[in-house]
Structure 1
Amino acid sequence: MTIRDASNRQSALNRLTANAPFLARLAELNPDDVTRFLTDGIFAALAGVSAPPEDDDIMRALRQWRGRIALLLALGDLSGEHDVATTTRLLSDFADQACDAALAAAFAERTPDEEPRGLSVIALGKLGSHELNYSSDIDPILIFDPDTLPRRSRDDPTEAAVRIARRMTEILSARTGDGHVLRVDLRLRPHPEVTPIVLPVDAAISYYESEALAWEQAAFIRSRASAGDRALGEQFLAAIQPFIWRRSLDFRQLKEIGAMSDRIRDHFAQGQAFGPGYDLKRGRGGIREIEFFAQVHQLIYGGRDPSLRVPATVDALAALAAAGRVEPEVATRLSGHYATLRRIEHRLQMVEDQQTHCLPTQPAALDGVARLDGKADGAALLAVLEPVTADVGACYDRLVAERAVTTGLPRDDDSLAAALLAAGFDPPDAALRTIAEWRGGKLRALRSPAALDALETMLPELIKALGAAPDPDATLTRFDKLVAGLPSAINFFHLLAAQPALARIATRVLALAPTLADALGVRAQLIEGLIDSRAFDAPADKTQLLQEWAPGLATLEYERLLDRVRDLVGERRFAYGVQLVAGATDPLAIALGYSELAEAALCVLADATVAEFVAAHGRISDSELVVLALGRLGGRALTHASDLDLIYLFTGDHLAESDGPRPLGATTYYNRLAQRVTAAMSVPTAAGKLYDVDTRLRPQGAQGPLVVTLDSFERYQREEAWTWEHMALLRARPVYGSDNARDEVERIIAELLATPRDRAKLAADAAEMRDRIAAHKAPQGVLDIKGGPGGLVDLEFAMQVTQLATGHCHDPNIAAALACLKAAGLAPDGVCEAHGLLARMLVMLRLTAPDGEPATAAARQLVASQCGEPRWPQLLAAHDAARQEIADWWASIRSQQENEK
């Protein structure tokens, strides 16, 4: 022990004796503990204090144990040998053990020959997050399992559980000559005025799944099975996770949680002003506001990000900062402030073991609390606390401002017409009729008082956003159509009211992108993903997506996994589309992002499908499924609604058989497996549609088997394949299978593509195939970017004939292949720019004019801007020039073929 350690310990004891009568009495009752602390330190002293034996007088033994723990933890805290977080965790650990001991004693009194089981203590609040105060209540919810709870033969299960729970509470809470152990508050259970103090587990699950209130959701952020039958408690908490962490945000609940905080501020107004009498817990800038700050962010983002589901406040702030939800500097400051406020709160409670949070109003008492904390006097303590509470209050005020609700729109026609005219509806007549129909409950989604209330909350921001659209009336009509398709609009409206930026984004989507508008009409909650600022980050690659998704997918059953992947892909695909509409990202980068997204989904679903199939049919030794992507997925250039062109292959012996409970021959095995992978990717589920899968590019087309061996694939491609099939292989890329299997497929493709060609026959075959395509599928107008003279199909034919004829630049990505050909002098100088322009136009028009219909004037301007042109006329001129460049290249290749005949 150093001189400094000795000095700190003695100072702590002196301050405790002089300023905390409750702890001073405990020091007199437990001199050996004090001596051990002074000599060996806090952790050695704590090691000498253990839970009382089961055969002791439980009431007295627990109280004496609690007194020794309270004394030693205070000494360790005051001496600085452990910090606030350690203090609260050790207090929480003691409370857990005390609850276990009291519960065991209660069971022993009623069923002495049975092991305690079937009753669980679910800790909420500070005990739930291991942040218990010196003199805090505990706020448990007690649940029991009627099937496993030991009871006397004539006892009703509920009656037996209530008696045991009541006795446990009495053991802990009753005040005797030795004091009490823990105050137990059971009022956080559902309907405490009418329900028993311990609830059947099934009834509790049912309540939280269907009836629970907003504050209850927030309370369960800090929850755990802390005592009793922990396995039962953990099963209960696992069952209600969807209630706690909701993927679909309920902004009504967030609004109510914020209102609850406001009511606390109002109710404790006398403790708001900083100074003597200030309420450290509930005052402005106090402990509760730091907790609410963290919890509101957790409720918004935790349903989508499991890393945020941490109960302790400081841990939650760190997780929010790491996830980019809170500025790291703000999280660090609030964490430090939290420790300061909790430390002084402990000092208040050390004085007389009172559950108080208010600074004393009497100068002498305030000086005593300050000296207990090592300060000279009350003024010095206030000087430390004042900047802390000011900063916390300012942070919380900003959070409150973010969810502030604007005033509603007028209800009388004249005032409303004036407001609509000012917003941009000129004339306002159509908007007046639509709003009147909404307010009259004409739409199914607007027939409840709650829906109408949500409508009024949202209308001001919505009308402002709609009025700023290029065509306000048309955009309002689309919004009306969207709402008409919703079963309920309540949460959607609250979301738009709480996040005005989303109202502007939704309006832009409705005005400019019919494809996204249709998606939003089917799943209005898609817009929730845009709350996350990272929705506008550069598109993630496959590896990043798989890492991000893994925690949330790991434990899902197969059917739920199919839905979840559809949700994840739909949200991300929608966000990428919004990036295009916002003009935030290059369309070619989004095309790559769409491709990485599809490949990640394929990997997840193929892995899950294989696992399901193996469970039923086993594995085939030295054999596996390989998936080959062609077309836009192969070239990493998908549009918003592209099909996936896939070929299924398998390695190994086609005569082999699987080793499972229901064995299959290899060909049957892999055909059935491939069918299931296709279904996993394409069949609509409750979460909607994922991708259309096209397998017609396989050997022998739609007439051939769905899956063939690598050997059969290679033999077919060498001996039977048509020229156009080798052209298609130029965009082939293995996207699923082991590294070895994918390497083998790439080797086969590379050798096939390197085979010397008869150039005249190659060009003739390509020209014939191009003519067939043109005859079969006429261009859809002058802006059919793929079809027609000089379109992307012509570009690919010209490029692929050149690649096969020369044996060069076999890159599945068109842009990369063209750059290679240009560098080698095998493609015209302007073809790379021509492809870039048309590829960008294709991506943009798939969103803004998906069926070839004329885009609106505003959408045309968006497309022009995203393609690097100032206006639509300039884009059309650049488009014509690009098509001419491509048409000339393709014509030159055809003419060479004609000349070589």
Structure 2
Amino acid sequence: MSLPDQLQQTCDNNWQRLSETLDADQITQLKAYSAADKIITTSDYVVESMLRFPLLLKEMLDNNWLEMPLNTQQMRELLQTKIAGVESENDLHRVLRQFRRQMMMRIIWRDFSFQANMWQTTAELSDLADICVDEALNWLYDHYCQQWGTPYSKAEAGEESIPQRMVVIGMGKLGARELNLSSDIDLMFCFPRHGQTQGGRRTLDNQDFFIRLGQKLIAALDNNTVDGFVFRVDMRLRPYGQSGALSLSFPAMVDYYHDQGREWERYAMIKARVIAGDLVSGNELLQDLNSFVYRKYVDYSAIESLRDMKSMINREVRRKGLTTNVKLGSGGIREVEFITQVFQLIRGGRETELQERSIRKVLPIISGMGLLPQQITDELLEAYLFLRNAEHALQGVADQQTQTLPEDDYPRLRMACIMNFDNWQAFEEKLDYQRARVAEHFANVIAAPDDDEEADQSLSAELGAIWKGEYEPEAGTSLLDDQGFEQPEDTFKRLEQLRSSRVVQSLQREGKQRLDQFMPLLLAAVTESDTPSRTLERTLQLVEAVLRRSAYFVLLMENPGALKQLVKLCSASPWIAEHLARTPILLDELLNTATLYTPAELEPLRDELRQQMLRIPEEDEEAQMEALRYFKRAHVLRVAASDIMGTRQLMKVSDYLTFIAEAILEHVLQMAWKKMTDKHGRPAKADGSPCDPGFAIVGYGKMGGIELGYGSDLDLVFLHDAAPQGYTDGDKSIDNGVFFTRLGQRIIHILNTMTSSGQLYEVDMRLRPSGNSGLLVSSLKAFRDYQLKEAWTWEKQALVRARVVVGCPDVAAKFEQIRAEILSEERDEAQLQEDVVSMRIKMRDNLGSKPAVGDEAPMFHLKQDAGGMVDIEFMAQYCVLRFSPQHPELLQWTDNIRILETVQQVGILPEDEVKLLSEAYLLYRQAAHNASMQKTKSQVPADRFVEERARVSAIWQRLLNTDQ
């Protein structure tokens, strides 16, 4: 089909981008495919993958994989060949991710071009997941058996102890071999029998071995590295959910399901399939669990259970505004699944042919048994095929897990194109038709009268009675326990404490009424989280902060979606909970999920801040400072929300936080400059012309390296380029040096001052020439002279990560010249090594983790301990100081990752070492970042990152010629 005019420009642009990266033969080969224009236009993921991994593309083109299906054996042999040379876990991660990307490029290409139908696509995706999980497990098992020993079963009387292997069970769409283009994989881990390992450095219980192995397997699949991820792994369907052990023995699995298994777990187990590990033993386990899933009698209680589950989903759809969700909305994919499952659960114990995982297979069986007319099952299958294709059209664009229809014209047109419709209207008409048919059949089969609101009100009323003190402690605790509160006694006491507090008792009537109306809704909302007690405790910080500002309760009651977002964010992060409690006005941000989870780039940030500040009188500095603080907190909340929900990678999070700081610094400079020039006029340059502004703010450290975190301070240096003996041109003329000193003080005042909304940023000026004893603002000449004649080696290391973030372009250009001059000085290698190592030892001694005392567990300080982040930073800085005279390209970047990439490009360190350093650095940063979001220290148990630390230290010792 020909592309609409609106998409042709995208097509042309993407071909141009590909032509600039790929060779002419590859472009010619790609263009020979009839569907090439369509794929290049509609899948950003395919285009970006081609650009980032041209060698993967070349292999596909050479083997004509874009045109042909690959069966399970072919894919397995391909991966086995690639894994054969893998020697380290990091290499395994890289091979798995690149293999997955290669296969995904091929599968999306064939799916979007309709060379493969939906069933073929989902089968190939499921096979891909099976193979990746199984081959990763095999490698990890062999690898860790060498370290931990091989697990053996506990020998019973007359039995021989035999080796044990893990069993991986795939659930959901993976279990049914109907995986979608960007799906989580729901897994469970188990093992046949208890026992102990043999042949390792020390003995482990089998369960401990398989838990550790499971953790390694999850990391191999789920960790997001520079190569992406393999599959997002969800383990919540395992026995006891997130609180349960990661791997259980077969007897423990059987005991759990037969003694404690819930109705929804019956539903989940319908699709359970052994996908990796010990397939024979795993299938024996599933056979043992069959009687839990399928009752031996006709079980009509399943209808009520599934009806309850659907009611819960309906409430979620309403709260989240998911009516345009092709999976969860009315007439969506989930309703087809529910129709199928209800017949399986009701009759599957008696009619064993219904014990089938695939919807494609079970719907004809249902009609064949006369349970539904064939016309209806045919219509359901047709609708299911259409809806799943629509789901793929949404997900294959950017490899994102979404089922929500686009709202804007361009993505709508692109989706219509993928689905082979001329326009959105034609596609939407077909979609509405299919969803209406599904909704009608669902209503006839399973839907009860619309009593969802009554159910919501009933739950809220019961929980409201607890809030009002109408329950005795034992009964109230029991109700909370029934609703999933993990600490029901503590929660009951906490609610009682709040209700009887002096502040609540002294509320005015309206405020008390609003609180009494809100609390049942909050209690009902937190039951939707995985940890209701913890989530409630965090959310109550906000409640207590706004007790006397009850309008916020009205906002949340009138906007259930905002309450849902509040609970979700507080559940995910105590840092966000405190952030909202300190600045409740940010609740407004929860009203629009389109912006809440979409941080802005630098230019939109600048524009938005400019527009906001135009509404405030220039003379009202206090209002301007408050507006800056709200702007920062609102946008940091958006970054944190997208971060917590997994929509942003670590480096993008730091980018966004740095963008926010740069936009704010730019405006703060403008405020301070106007204040100073209005009073004193402008300082003069050496040629007599006025500075405008002749000033720049240099960011060092995390600011300079574009690595800001949520609580980072700003390491800044102020520079000017005015005449050393000049004066300002205003009525109250002052010396240029005095002017710029006061300008710097003004900037720090705006940033540092603690207002009712808190501090904007904490500023650290200690990296300026001569540190705290030096001038607050230096001239460019004085800065250069200091760096040439007086600066210590550590100060030149700091200069590596320095860049002008705000200010005069001329000053920025001159600073870059000075920076390049200083950093590219010829240095004595031995002296440089001694200086760098000496400073590093001092930092470790003063800032690193202390030896464990008594029962304390030894810890690893992610930043300061040997093999940690600072070692990697120092190595990057050392390479710049040592080798930039020969390789000036080392001076281009200020961030560690790109410095390391350049170190590799110029041949200072080999690719494998740079890859290790980069990956370790990002792992450490992610761990430190997660600690910040969970309000814990940047320390982890010493048994984490052992391999990374050892290898980083080995590179450190070789590069710096030291054993420290």
Separation (CA, whole Å) in 2 of partners of 1:582 and 1:574: 12
Separation (CA, whole Å) in 2 of partners of 1:745 and 1:759: 26
Following superposition, the deviation at residue 416 of structure 1 comes to: 5.6
1:514 match:
574
Select which of 931, 937, 952 maps to 1:845: 931
Following superposition, the deviation at residue 512 of structure 1 comes to: 4.2
Separation (CA, whole Å) in 1 of partners of 2:944 and 2:764: 33
2:539 match:
479
| Aligned ranges 1:16-55 → 2 under 5 Å | none
Gap change, CA 1:823 and 1:652, over 3 Å in 2: same
2:141 match:
none
| Aligned ranges 1:272-311 → 2 under 5 Å | none
Separation (CA, whole Å) in 2 of partners of 1:457 and 1:409: 10
Separation (CA, whole Å) in 2 of partners of 1:416 and 1:851: 36
Does 2:546 correspond to 1:464? Answer: no
- Deviation string 1:595-619 (CA, Å, 9 cap, x unpaired) is 1100110001111111011111110
Letter in 2 for 1:822: Q
Q: CA contact under 8 A between 1:406 and 1:460: conserved in structure 2?
A: no
2:948 match:
882
Separation (CA, whole Å) in 1 of partners of 2:933 and 2:789: 42
Separation (CA, whole Å) in 2 of partners of 1:453 and 1:799: 60
Q: Secondary structure at the match of 2:861?
A: coil
Letter in 2 for 1:477: E
Does 2:639 correspond to 1:576? Answer: yes
2:592 match:
532
Structure 2 unaligned regions, length at least 5:
1-405, 410-451, 686-690, 851-857
Gap change, CA 1:480 and 1:686, over 3 Å in 2: closer
Q: Secondary structure at the match of 1:447?
A: coil
Structure 1 unaligned regions, length at least 5:
1-325, 330-400, 855-872
1:413 match:
471
Select which of 894, 906, 909 maps to 1:812: 894
2:654 match:
591
Select which of 863, 880, 884 maps to 1:803: 880
Does 2:915 correspond to 1:833? Answer: no
Worse-superposed segment, 740-749 or 433-442: 433-442
Q: CA contact under 8 A between 1:515 and 1:847: conserved in structure 2?
A: yes
Separation (CA, whole Å) in 2 of partners of 1:501 and 1:826: 54
Letter in 1 for 2:480: L
1:132 match:
none
Separation (CA, whole Å) in 2 of partners of 1:551 and 1:746: 32
- Deviation string 1:659-715 (CA, Å, 9 cap, x unpaired) is 112211011111111011011111112322111000000011111111110011011
- Deviation string 1:568-588 (CA, Å, 9 cap, x unpaired) is 001111221222222221122
| Aligned ranges 1:414-563 → 2 under 5 Å | 419-425=479-485, 428-440=488-500, 442-444=502-504, 447-486=507-546, 488-556=548-616, 557=618, 558-563=621-626
- Deviation string 1:55-77 (CA, Å, 9 cap, x unpaired) is xxxxxxxxxxxxxxxxxxxxxxx
Letter in 1 for 2:930: M
Q: Secondary structure at the match of 2:760?
A: coil
1:701 match:
771
Separation (CA, whole Å) in 1 of partners of 2:923 and 2:523: 36
Q: CA contact under 8 A between 1:413 and 1:432: conserved in structure 2?
A: no
Separation (CA, whole Å) in 2 of partners of 1:427 and 1:800: 49
Select which of 870, 892, 895 maps to 2:961: 895
| Aligned ranges 1:346-361 → 2 under 5 Å | none
- Deviation string 1:13-69 (CA, Å, 9 cap, x unpaired) is xxxxxxxxxxxxxxxxxxxxxxxxxxxxxxxxxxxxxxxxxxxxxxxxxxxxxxxxx
Does 2:665 correspond to 1:602? Answer: yes
- Deviation string 1:861-884 (CA, Å, 9 cap, x unpaired) is xxxxxxxxxxxx9xx977332222
1:634 match:
704
2:781 match:
711
Q: CA contact under 8 A between 2:862 and 2:928: conserved in structure 1?
A: yes
Letter in 1 for 2:785: R
Separation (CA, whole Å) in 1 of partners of 2:945 and 2:505: 44
Following superposition, the deviation at residue 418 of structure 1 comes to: 5.9
Q: Secondary structure at the match of 1:697?
A: coil
Separation (CA, whole Å) in 1 of partners of 2:558 and 2:490: 26
Separation (CA, whole Å) in 2 of partners of 1:428 and 1:499: 28
Following superposition, the deviation at residue 724 of structure 1 comes to: 0.8
Q: CA contact under 8 A between 2:709 and 2:929: conserved in structure 1?
A: yes
Following superposition, the deviation at residue 413 of structure 1 comes to: 1.5
Letter in 1 for 2:763: V
Separation (CA, whole Å) in 1 of partners of 2:931 and 2:487: 31
Separation (CA, whole Å) in 1 of partners of 2:836 and 2:929: 26
Q: CA contact under 8 A between 1:462 and 1:496: conserved in structure 2?
A: no
Does 2:864 correspond to 1:787? Answer: yes
Structure 1 length normalisation: TM-score?
Answer: 0.50
Q: CA contact under 8 A between 1:789 and 1:883: conserved in structure 2?
A: yes
Q: CA contact under 8 A between 2:569 and 2:576: conserved in structure 1?
A: yes
Gap change, CA 1:430 and 1:774, over 3 Å in 2: closer
| Aligned ranges 1:729-740 → 2 under 5 Å | 729-740=799-810
Letter in 2 for 1:653: A
Letter in 2 for 1:788: D
Q: CA contact under 8 A between 2:597 and 2:641: conserved in structure 1?
A: no
Does 2:831 correspond to 1:773? Answer: no
Letter in 1 for 2:712: S
Separation (CA, whole Å) in 2 of partners of 1:490 and 1:405: 23
1:131 match:
none
Following superposition, the deviation at residue 511 of structure 1 comes to: 4.0
Letter in 2 for 1:518: E
Select which of 749, 756, 759 maps to 1:679: 749
Structure 2 length normalisation: TM-score?
Answer: 0.47
Q: CA contact under 8 A between 1:784 and 1:852: conserved in structure 2?
A: yes
Q: Secondary structure at the match of 2:928?
A: helix
Q: Secondary structure at the match of 2:804?
A: strand
Following superposition, the deviation at residue 495 of structure 1 comes to: 2.8
1:757 match:
827
Following superposition, the deviation at residue 801 of structure 1 comes to: 0.7
Q: Secondary structure at the match of 1:409?
A: helix
Over the aligned positions, Cα root-mean-square deviation in angstroms equals: 3.1
Separation (CA, whole Å) in 2 of partners of 1:569 and 1:815: 26
Q: Secondary structure at the match of 1:443?
A: helix
Gap change, CA 1:587 and 1:755, over 3 Å in 2: same
- Deviation string 1:141-166 (CA, Å, 9 cap, x unpaired) is xxxxxxxxxxxxxxxxxxxxxxxxxx
Gap change, CA 1:607 and 1:405, over 3 Å in 2: farther
Q: CA contact under 8 A between 2:866 and 2:949: conserved in structure 1?
A: yes
Letter in 1 for 2:708: L
2:735 match:
665
Letter in 2 for 1:825: G
Q: CA contact under 8 A between 1:445 and 1:486: conserved in structure 2?
A: no
- Deviation string 1:705-764 (CA, Å, 9 cap, x unpaired) is 111100110111111111111111110000122222211111111121121211111111
Following superposition, the deviation at residue 501 of structure 1 comes to: 3.9
- Deviation string 1:455-476 (CA, Å, 9 cap, x unpaired) is 3333344223333444433333
Q: CA contact under 8 A between 1:425 and 1:473: conserved in structure 2?
A: yes
Following superposition, the deviation at residue 328 of structure 1 comes to: 6.7
Following superposition, the deviation at residue 488 of structure 1 comes to: 2.0
